[in-house]
Structure 1
Amino acid sequence: MALIIKSSAFGFVHSAFSFHKYMPDLSYRTDTLEIMDDFDLPSAEITPVLEGLGKMNALFGGHKSIIKSLKKFAVGNGYSVSDWGCGGGDTLIAIAKWAKSKQVDLNLNGVDAAPSAVNYARQQALNYSNIYFTQADVIDEAYLIKPVDLIICSLFTHHFDDERWVKLIQNMEASAQKGIVITDLHRHWLLYHAIVFITHVFTRNAMARNDGPLSVRRGFKKQELLVLLKKAQIDNFKLTWRWPFRWELIIYKS
């Protein structure tokens, strides 16, 4: 019986990895666009992915990581926090729950360019009067986004090529009054295979199966981030590796 179980488990894992018959070259960031980069995706397509991302962020500590970083800025009553690339708004909702538990009054704003994502986020946050959303392109429409104390950005900056990444950081730096907290993917073969496994075993969603591994290929090596930060003329920052294969970038304004 034990042999049969082990054999079945091996076949289960082997079949999951067989979807990708080659190991992509991870020595460079790919510029291949993700399906999610299409701002005109209908709700029927993007909603299941946003739901899945929210669950993953909660399961793998993404929300806790952002909240822990916020504490480094001594966030207090009246602070304003904006989540650029907010997706389904799950990070802001997690922050709102944490702030309520600590009796801290925060003003929370989510920014996303995709109308379907903003509509979904608004529905999810209906019970939170201190959360509002802005539909805007963070590169070309940053003027539509109100300045805030802190900007957060979780698993979002990898969607931009190097030139637009630099512009994004410069826009953030101009808008944030106190600081910026960014978390994003470390481009690594182990993370790539883990994402392939997770997306092919636990979901049948075509977008998740395509964008999950692709997002790793669009992730960063440490030296790449350091070069990009230099191009953006950012020198007051702290870059830290976090489990699971995430970079935490904190930019201080003073």
Structure 2
Amino acid sequence: MTSTTSSIRWSPTTPLARIRVAELMDDPALDPREHHAALAGLKRLNAWSKSARILWPSIARLAVDVNAQGRPLRVMDVATGSGDGPMAMAKLARRQGLNINWTLCDCSSRALEVAQQNAHAIGERVNLLRVDLLREQLPARADVVICSLFIHHLDDDTGRAAMRTMASAADVAVGIADLDRSNAGLALAWIGSRVLTRSRIVHFDAIASVRAAFTLEEVQTMAHEAGLHDASVSRVWPARWRLWWQRPVVETTREVRK
């Protein structure tokens, strides 16, 4: 463990080559108490970085249009983890008077239990689906399929596959947000993780995640190769990128009528 940790330690001269190591959070043998503590730490880190607001403006605009048609917007969050991202957006939706139905997907039953607790804590009803995005097709459809802070776990091939799977279940749009691999991102991850949580899991995984992240240019190429042509990819604070892809109007109309 010592050698692995030192190999990803930040310094001003850290190269930007992509380096992937196993994150501690993904260890199936991780003690449940440490897992819950790490999820709580990540929740604070995501709240500080305002992760939920990265995709929210586009989701809110679609919700306004769909609600005007007399129905809720259906949003599916894949690889949801503890669900703190969509639940933060659920709070924003309430404040803005928007009607959204949330479906939370993850391959971990432990994570889904926490997601259910988080939803219950704010009085939000959600649909929970245990599904492995990399091995299964999504068993339901949604207007928008979103994903945050997951793509950096993947290689190029599985990243493209995940994008295709998300697009195949999305009637209208796909939204993805993740870390941007950069020295600034490494610095923010190191400082933020240590200021906001004492979890050793988060301390390690925060740095590992940035080192494993894709750059904006790499994501643009990946999206094009996955068939998400004309996807909009942009940098957002803090040291992240945002991808938003919508089906062509004719194709969207056909999907919604099914």
Fold shared by both chains (TM-score > 0.5): yes
Name the residue aligned to 1:63.
Answer: 52
Deviations 1:184-236 (A, max 9, x none): 11100122022223334443322111100010011121221122122212213
Question: Counterpart amino acid of 2:106?
Answer: D
CA change 1:140–1:248 in 2 (3 A) is same
8 Å Cα contact 1:238-1:249 kept in structure 2: yes
Instruction: Tell me what 1:132 maps to.
Output: 127
Q: Where does 1:221-236 land on structure 2 (aligned, <5 Å)?
A: 221-236=215-230
Corresponding pairs, count: 236
Q: Does 2:207 align with 1:218?
A: no
Map 1:56-95 → 2, pairs under 5 A: 56-75=45-64, 76=67, 77-95=71-89
State the partner residue of 2:253: none
Q: Greater shift after overlay, 226-235 or 123-132?
A: 123-132
Which residue number corresponds to residue 98 of structure 1?
92
How far did residue 64 of structure 1 move?
A: 2.1
CA distance in 2, matches of 1:154, 1:162: 17
8 Å Cα contact 1:84/1:153 also seen in 2: yes
Separation (CA, whole Å) in 2 of partners of 1:100 and 1:201 = 30
Partner of 1:153, secondary structure, is strand
Over 3 Å counting, the alpha-carbon distance change for 1:104 and 1:33 in structure 2 is same
When normalised by structure 1's length, the TM-score is 0.84
Deviation, structure 1 residue 65: 2.2
Identity of aligned residues (%): 27
After superposition, residues 198-217 of structure 1 pair within 5 angstroms as 198-217=192-211
Question: For residues 124 and 202 of structure 1, what CA distance do their matches in structure 2 show?
Answer: 19
What is the root-mean-square deviation of aligned Cα atoms in Å? 2.3
Q: Which runs of 5+ in 2 are unaligned?
A: 1-7, 249-258
Q: Output the CA distance in 1 between the equivalents of 2:29 and 2:77.
A: 20
Equivalent residues of 2:10, 2:187 under 8 A apart: no
Superposed, 1:100-179 pairs within 5 Å as 100-127=94-121, 128-143=123-138, 145-179=139-173
Seen in structure 2, the aligned counterparts of structure 1 residues 21 and 138 have a Cα distance that, compared at 3 Å, is: closer
For residues 4-19 of structure 1, the aligned pairs below 5 Å read: none
TM-score (normalised: structure 2):
0.83
Counterpart for residue 10 of structure 1: none
Quote the residue 1:46 is aligned against.
35
* Secondary structure of residue in 1 paired with 2:132: coil
SS at match of 1:70: helix
Whichever of the two has the greater Rg, that structure is 1
Closer/same/farther in 2, CA of residues 83 and 21 from structure 1, 3 Å limit = closer
- Which moves more between the two structures, 173-182 or 91-100? 91-100
Q: Indicate if the aligned counterparts of 1:183 and 1:247 stay in contact, CA closer than 8 A.
A: yes
* Greater displacement, 73-82 / 179-188: 73-82
Tell me if structure 1 keeps the 8 A contact 2:60–2:93. no
Aligned-pair CA distance for 1:136: 1.2
Q: Helix, strand or coil for the counterpart of 2:178?
A: strand
2:236 paired with 1:247: no
Return the alpha-carbon distance in structure 2 between the equivalents of residues 149 and 163 of structure 1.
25
SS in 1 for 2:234: strand
CA offsets, 1:3-45, max 9 Å, x none? xxxxxxxxxxxxxxxx947568543322322122235644312
